[in-house]
Amino acid sequence: MNEHTRTNTDHSNIGASVKVKDGMTKSAHQGIDAVSDAAHPTIDRAASGAHRAVESADDMVNHAAEAIDKAGVKGEELVAASTTYMRDHPLLTLSIAVGAGYLLSRLLASR
């Protein structure tokens, strides 16, 4: 009879262990779900902020590209206008070039 009683006691301990394990597992899952639920709003806010930052950076890059394009066009227009002026007034252009060369040589020679 001792063996039969011992077997029943062993089975009851196994059942209790399973209940404790199941309770711990359920509690762990509930804890993970609670943390996950709490983290979602924070993650969503961070993702939203990151999207806004990328959009803002994209806008700044687009504005900078437009400004560079406009400056490039203005520079090209200035070169074209200067070239046209030099072709229309060759003697004046040559005189200015000689005068600038003379002034530069005097400034550099004095040092």
The model's pLDDT over 6-15, given as tens digits with 9 standing for 90+, comes to 444 555 566 6
pLDDT at 73: 79
**3-state SS string for the chain:** CHHHHHHHHHHHHHHHHHHHHHHHHHHHHHHHHHHHHHHHHHHHHHHHHHHHHHHHHHHHHHHHHHHHHHHHHHHHHHHHHHHHHHHHCHHHHHHHHHHHHHHHHHHHHCC
Count of residues making up the chain: 111
pLDDT at 18: 67
pLDDT in tens, 38-86: 878 888 888 888 888 888 888 888 888 888 888 877 888 888 899 999 9
pLDDT at 99: 93
pLDDT range class, residue 102, cuts 50, 70, 90: very high
Summarize the confidence of residues 13-39 as an average pLDDT: 76
Q: Which residue from 47, 65, 69 is spatially nearest to 57, judged by alpha carbons?
A: 65
pLDDT at 44: 84
Domain boundaries, the chain: 2-109
